[in-house]
């Protein structure tokens, strides 16, 4: 909600803007870091035993990514209560998988990765998600009152702080659309997260039309992850005139061997509802 207000002023500045163009810029280069995408997402109603962790390294900003996958690391997750260990097996393509993970709601887990003789550690708690009450489509909501949008509607539980993360992905689309929200201003109410595409000739984008399909992943997340993903989403196209000043983003993966060489990414444990919606 708060970010929405700043987004508005980005809109206003665009209104005045006669011109945006793509230019060459020299940017600095930092040493590569390990990137940990350890998203242990437990789809509601499944056993959640199959999980994947992806490791890669960061590269120069304007370099075409050829091979930045990380192989040869040792990856394990431990249940902090009963010390059950889940070993993730190196698939030699940057992915590390397990088929025997046991998710427990509100249970804390520890991730340990040993890579290049350095040990990376992260802790996180499995966070539940509420059910989706309805998925609807409309035109009058959203930024454009003529364009189609999909609305994911859910009821926020009272008496607790809740944090949400949602990923929309149009079938055949290149990039997903990420949103986050919390119940600070909406506690106990019916909340809606929506995805609308506006027509934009510059990037060949059209509005949604009937038969377009959108995949939806709706997660309950921890406060720590919410803070992280807020900044991440803010910075997907950072640096506009009224945008928040971009900052170095740190997740929850520390390096116990060499604290300065912390990893990018996050160890998250979420319950998720996956579904898809076809526009009528």
Partner 1 sequence: MKKAIFALIFFTSFLFPPQIFAQDSYTISGRIKDINNGETLFGASVFFKDTTIGVITNEYGFYSITAPKGNYTLIISYMGYVDLSQEVTLDSDKQLNFEMFTSSEELDEVIITAEETERANIKKPEMSVSKLKSETIKKIPVVLGEVDIVKSIQTLPGVTNGGEGTSGFNVRGGAVDQNLVLLDEAIIYNTSHLLGFFSVFNADAIKDVKLYKGAIPARFGGRVSSVLDVRQKDGNSKRLGLTGGIGIISSRLAVEGPVFKNKGSFLLAGRGSYAHLYAGAIEDALKDNKINFYDLNLKTNYKINEKNKLYLSGYFGRDVFDFSKNFESSYGNLSGNLRWNHIFNDKIFSNLSLIYSKYDYEISINSMKFDWIASINNYNVKYDVNYYASNNFKLDFGGNAIFYDFDPGQIKPTSSTSPINRLKLDEKKALETGVYASAEHKISKKLTMEYGIRYSSFVRLGGQPLTNYANNRPVIYNSSLGIYSEGIAIGETNYKDDESIKTFGNLEPRLGLSFQLTESSSLKAGYSRAAQYIHLLSNTTSVTPVDVWTPSGKFIKPQLSNQYALGYFKNFTNNTYSLEVEAYYKDVENRIDYLDGSELIGQNNIETEILNGESRAYGLEFLLRKSKGDFTGWLAYTISKSEQRTLGDNVEGPGINNGNWYNTAHDRTHDVSLTGIYKLTDKWTFSSNLVFQTGRPVTYPNAQYQYEDITTASYSDRNSNRLPAYHRLDISATYTPNNKPERRWKGEWVFGIYNVYNRKNAASISFGQNKETGINEATRTAIFGIIPSISYNFKF
21 binds partner 1 (CB under 8 A): yes
User: 77 with 40: CB under 8 angstroms?
Assistant: yes
Which stretch in 43-51, 57-65, 73-81, 127-135 sits in contact with partner 1 by CB under 8 A? 57-65
State the number of binding residues for partner 1 (CB under 8 A): 93
Rounded to an integer, what distance in angstroms lies between the CA atom of residue 122 and that of residue 262? 11
- Residue range at the interface with partner 1 (CB under 8 A); choices 40-48, 110-118, 125-133, 188-196: 188-196
Nearest-approach distance from CB 84 to partner 1, in angstroms: 24
CA distance 65 to 34: 15
Nearer of residues 104 and 240 to partner 1, judged by Cβ: 240
Nearer to partner 1, 77 or 191 (CB): 191
Q: Which long-range contacts (CB under 8 A, 24 or more apart) does 155-159 make?
A: 155/130, 155/189, 155/190, 155/191, 156/130, 156/183, 156/186, 156/187, 156/188, 156/189, 156/190, 156/191, 157/130, 157/188, 158/187, 158/188, 159/188
- Which positions from 91 through 130 interact with partner 1, judged by CB under 8 A? none
- The secondary structure of residue 127, as a DSSP letter, is B
- Segment 132 to 161, residues that bind partner 1, using CB under 8 A: 141-145
Rule CB under 8 A: say whether 185 interacts with partner 1.
Answer: yes
Query: Using CB under 8 A, which of 37, 90, 118, 215 touches partner 1?
Result: 37
Which residue among 90, 215, 243, 261 contacts partner 1 (CB under 8 A)?
Answer: 243
Query: Residues 63-79, buried b or exposed e (16+ Cβ, 10 A)?
Result: eeeeeeebeebebbbbb
Q: Which one among 205, 257, 258, 278 touches partner 1, defined by CB under 8 A?
A: 205
């Amino acid at each position: 909600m708060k970010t929405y207000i700043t987004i508005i002023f980005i809109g206003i500045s665009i209104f005045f803007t006669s011109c945006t163009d793509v230019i060459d810029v020299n940017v600095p280069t930092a040493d590569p870091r390990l990137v940990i995408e350890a998203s242990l997402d437990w789809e509601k109603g499944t056993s959640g035993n199959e999980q994947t962790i992806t490791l890669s390294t960061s590269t120069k900003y304007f370099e075409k990514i050829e091979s930045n996958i990380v192989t040869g690391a040792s990856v394990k997750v431990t249940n902090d209560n009963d010390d059950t260990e889940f070993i993730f097996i190196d698939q030699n393509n940057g992915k590390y998988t397990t088929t025997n993970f046991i998710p427990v709601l509100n249970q804390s887990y520890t991730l340990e990765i040993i890579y290049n003789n350095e040990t990376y550690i992260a802790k996180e708690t499995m966070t539940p998600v509420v059910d989706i009450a309805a998925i609807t489509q409309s035109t009058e909501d959203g930024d454009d009152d003529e364009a189609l949008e999909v609305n994911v509607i859910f009821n926020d539980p009272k008496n607790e702080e809740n944090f949400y993360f949602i990923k929309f992905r149009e079938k055949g689309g290149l990039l997903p659309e990420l949103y986050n929200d919390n119940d600070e201003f909406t506690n106990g109410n019916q909340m809606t997260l929506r995805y609308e595409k506006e027509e934009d000739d510059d990037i060949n984008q059209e509005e949604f039309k009937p038969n377009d399909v959108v995949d939806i992943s709706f997660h309950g997340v921890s406060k720590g992850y919410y803070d992280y993903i807020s900044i991440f989403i803010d910075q997907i196209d950072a640096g506009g005139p009224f945008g928040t000043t971009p900052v170095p983003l740190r997740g929850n993966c520390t390096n116990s061997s060499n604290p300065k060489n912390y990893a990018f990414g996050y160890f998250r444990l979420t319950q998720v509802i996956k579904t898809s919606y076809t526009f009528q």
